[in-house]
Amino acid sequence: EQQEKWVPRAVNMEIIGTYAQTELGHGTFLRGLETTATYDPNTEEFVLNSPTLTAYKWWPGGLAHTANHCVVVAQLHSKGVNHGVHPFIVQIRDEDTHMPLPGVKVGEIGPKLSFSTANNGFLGFDNFRVPRDSMLMKNAQVLKDGTYVKSRLSKLTYGTMVFIRVMIVTDMAYYLSVGATIAIRYSAVRHQSKPKENEPEPQILDYVTQQHKLFIALASSHAFRVTGQWLWTTFVRVNKALTSGNADTLPELHAVACCLKAVTTRDAASMVEACRMSCGGHGYMTSSYLPILYGITTAACTYEGENTVLLLQTARSLVKAWQKGSKGKPLSPTEAYLMDKSPVPKWENTLDGIIAGFRRVSAGKVQDCVSKIDKLVKMGTSYEDAWNQTSVRLVAASEAHSRAVILATFRAEVSRAAAALSPPLARVLHQLVHLYTVYWALERVGDLLLYTSIAERDVQELQQQYEDLLQKIRPNTVGLVDAFDLRDEILNSTLGAYDGRVYERLMEEALKSPLNAEPVNQSFHKYLKPFMQGKL
């Protein structure tokens, strides 16, 4: 019924909405949100209030001057009892005049690192009344007399965030394809230095260090696209089960969505930054689009759940899985490897060997965390303090788990798809899987030395494998980014345009600057000249 009322109007854009959950005082800790929605049975309305400055909603995208409705997450009070945070759909502006409604204070939060078009806003309520059916009642309800009907699963309120986290993994694949396209095309056009006096300046793409900076971004885009597809399929399956009242698989989805969102956004932000830096000064131009792209990807490390907080959510699930598995209980498919108690096998420098190695690292780290927490608790430390003192290791265990999931999914999905591909295309995709896997083995070699039987000669061989792969992938690099098929209008980059006219585009963009409208800018007459004449 509520969906019939709101969805059609949202689909045809009569309603422009946003998700108003975060407040000035709380973004992570949702149970600490201060906005209140108090039910008045006499009028069958909720009264919304922002009791403090820190209760003001702060950050919601589009809230400042665009949205006329929003989903407000507030502490629901009825019959004198606080039932915790619940979502409400609330009209905040007049649909004709767009004026804020009486009792609503709304505005722009000011300049940000990037996301300048997101129109993030603030929102405060002063005894603002909304009808009872503003409470989104799919999970919990408040009856006309104020009786609260509990949701069968309180965490279903948090479901929106799981959905967006799932989507963000695929988003990161896209952003990395943009960064890799810009930086690799530029690296094919840019010639610099003279390592061989009697030869012309080479393309910077031929420097192995440049390949090391860029090819991982290219491979990660494919790894995250494939993992994002797997995660979406998992989300659809869990959501279908939830619809029929079965929430058994929701905890696993929450845990894997948290760590994949955290790891893919962190990797995307750092790899886009590497793409920017690999383009030298021109990568620092706004017209290259790389600084804007960095601003967009780094924001994802914060929004939809701050990365550390999400990695700790996954760690919470891994520790619980370890404790469950140690009692012989079955674990979820993504966490079942934690109970592999077989002896550490002889190390193999193969994809399967490395994936198995990362699973050993994750299981080893989880076991170390459980042991440390148990030891601290036995010494009289509270569980909460023991958790906090172990939290650096818990985050590392979560990251290792996430990497194991990405490596295994990337390899399995490409192997599955390869049968339907032409041999040359299958070969190139396998090279990207190989590069991605060996890159991370080398990045985390310390963990592998701690938890597997990898030896020094294996590491040397992996380094050589990696350098050979850079050489093998080089001839196909421009073709691989062209295959992302990103139009110039989408790339929006002087460095990444398909025609490679980098220098002409840089100059064309520069000449558009208003500061180039006249040969002598007014600042000379207003400031420089008086200063030079000692008059300032």
Ligand X SMILES: Cc1cc2nc3c(=O)[nH]c(=O)nc-3n(C[C@H](O)[C@H](O)[C@H](O)COP(=O)(O)OP(=O)(O)OC[C@H]3O[C@@H](n4cnc5c(N)ncnc54)[C@H](O)[C@@H]3O)c2cc1C
Ligand Y SMILES: CCCCCCCCCCCCC/C=C/C(=O)SCCNC(=O)CCNC(=O)[C@H](O)C(C)(C)COP(=O)(O)OP(=O)(O)OC[C@H]1O[C@@H](n2cnc3c(N)ncnc32)[C@H](O)[C@@H]1OP(=O)(O)O
Q: Is 241 in the site for ligand Y (CB under 6 A)?
A: no
Q: Is 63 in the site for ligand Y (CB under 6 A)?
A: no
Closest distance of CB 404 from ligand Y, Å: 20
Contact positions with ligand X (CB under 6 A) in 63-122? 115, 120
The binding track of 459-498 with respect to ligand X, each residue x by CB under 6 A or -, is: ----------------------------------------
Q: Is 19 in the site for ligand Y (CB under 6 A)?
A: yes
The binding track of 273-312 with respect to ligand Y, each residue x by CB under 6 A or -, is: ------------------------------xxx---x---
Among ligand Y, ligand X, none, partner that 308 touches (CB below 5 to 8 angstroms by kind): ligand X
H or E element at residue 256: helix 250-277
Q: Is 84 in the site for ligand Y (CB under 6 A)?
A: no
Written as one letter, the residue type at 389 is Q
| Closest to 498 measured CA to CA, from 474, 479, 513, 470 | 479
The binding track of 439-478 with respect to ligand Y, each residue x by CB under 6 A or -, is: ----------------------------------------
CA–CA separation, 354 vs 444, rounded Å? Answer: 11
For 305, list phi and psi in degrees, rounded to 5: 110, 110
Looking at the Cβ atoms of 309 and 442, the one nearer to ligand X is 309
Out of 109, 299, 421, 445, the only residue in the binding site for ligand X (CB under 6 A) is 299
Which residues fall within 8 angstroms of residue 225, CB to CB, at 6 or more apart? 170, 173, 174
Looking at the Cβ atoms of 182 and 262, the one nearer to ligand Y is 262
Cβ pair 493, 288 in contact under 8 A = yes
For 90, list phi and psi in degrees, rounded to 5: -130, 130
CA–CA separation, 474 vs 476, rounded Å? Answer: 6
Among ligand X, ligand Y, none, partner that 30 touches (CB below 5 to 8 angstroms by kind): ligand Y
Give the binding-site size for ligand X (rule: CB under 6 A). Answer: 21
Question: For 212, what's the count of Cα atoms within 13 Å in the CB-facing half-sphere?
Answer: 13
Other Cβ atoms less than 10 A from the Cβ of 483: the count is 13
Q: Is 31 in the site for ligand Y (CB under 6 A)?
A: yes
Looking at the Cβ atoms of 20 and 363, the one nearer to ligand Y is 20
Q: Is 161 in the site for ligand Y (CB under 6 A)?
A: yes
DSSP 44: T
* Burial per residue of 429-447, b for 16 or more beta-carbon CB atoms within 10 angstroms, e otherwise: bbbbbbbbbbbbbeebeeb
Q: Which stretch binds ligand Y (CB under 6 A): 91-99, 157-165, 216-224, 352-360?
A: 157-165
Residue 20 pairs in a beta bridge with 72
Q: Which stretch binds ligand X (CB under 6 A): 53-61, 256-264, 354-362, 376-384?
A: 53-61
Residue 200 structure tokens: 């012309």
Out of 230, 303, 347, 440, the only residue in the binding site for ligand X (CB under 6 A) is 303
Out of 6, 22, 78, 185, the only residue in the binding site for ligand X (CB under 6 A) is 22
Q: Is 155 in the site for ligand Y (CB under 6 A)?
A: yes
Closest distance of CB 50 from ligand Y, Å: 17
Closest distance of CB 314 from ligand X, Å: 13
Q: Is 312 in the site for ligand X (CB under 6 A)?
A: yes
Out of 93, 254, 266, 401, the only residue in the binding site for ligand Y (CB under 6 A) is 254
* Burial per residue of 141-154, b for 16 or more beta-carbon CB atoms within 10 angstroms, e otherwise: ebeeebebeebeee
Q: Which stretch binds ligand Y (CB under 6 A): 39-47, 159-167, 181-189, 204-212?
A: 159-167
Q: Which stretch binds ligand X (CB under 6 A): 174-182, 308-316, 350-358, 371-379?
A: 308-316
How many helices and strands in the chain, by DSSP H and E?
16, 11
Looking at the Cβ atoms of 188 and 309, the one nearer to ligand Y is 309
| Closest to 258 measured CA to CA, from 361, 154, 364, 163 | 163
Residue 150 structure tokens: 């509990």
Active-site residue, selected from the candidate residues 34, 252, 273, 304 = 304
Among ligand X, ligand Y, none, partner that 129 touches (CB below 5 to 8 angstroms by kind): none
CA–CA separation, 238 vs 232, rounded Å? Answer: 10
Q: Is 394 in the site for ligand Y (CB under 6 A)?
A: no
* Burial per residue of 505-526, b for 16 or more beta-carbon CB atoms within 10 angstroms, e otherwise: bbeeeeeeeeeeeeeeeeeeee
Q: Is 159 in the site for ligand X (CB under 6 A)?
A: no
CA–CA separation, 489 vs 471, rounded Å? Answer: 31
Looking at the Cβ atoms of 258 and 491, the one nearer to ligand Y is 258
Residue 504 structure tokens: 């002409």
Tell me how many degrees the CA angle 283-438-474 measures, rounded to the nearest 5: 50
Looking at the Cβ atoms of 162 and 406, the one nearer to ligand Y is 162
CA–CA separation, 177 vs 192, rounded Å? Answer: 25
- The position carrying tokens 């900076």 is 213
Active site includes 304?
yes
CA–CA separation, 401 vs 258, rounded Å? Answer: 11
Q: Is 228 in the site for ligand Y (CB under 6 A)?
A: no
CA–CA separation, 160 vs 235, rounded Å? Answer: 12
Out of 23, 34, 171, 273, the only residue in the binding site for ligand Y (CB under 6 A) is 171
First to last CA, the chain: 70
Looking at the Cβ atoms of 171 and 447, the one nearer to ligand Y is 171
Contact residues for ligand X, defined by CB under 6 A: 18-22, 26-28, 59-61, 115, 120, 299, 302-303, 305-306, 308-309, 312
Catalytic residues: 304
Residue ranges in contact with ligand Y by CB under 6 A: 19, 21-22, 28-31, 61, 155, 158, 161-162, 164, 167-168, 171, 250-251, 254, 303-305, 309, 313, 316, 320
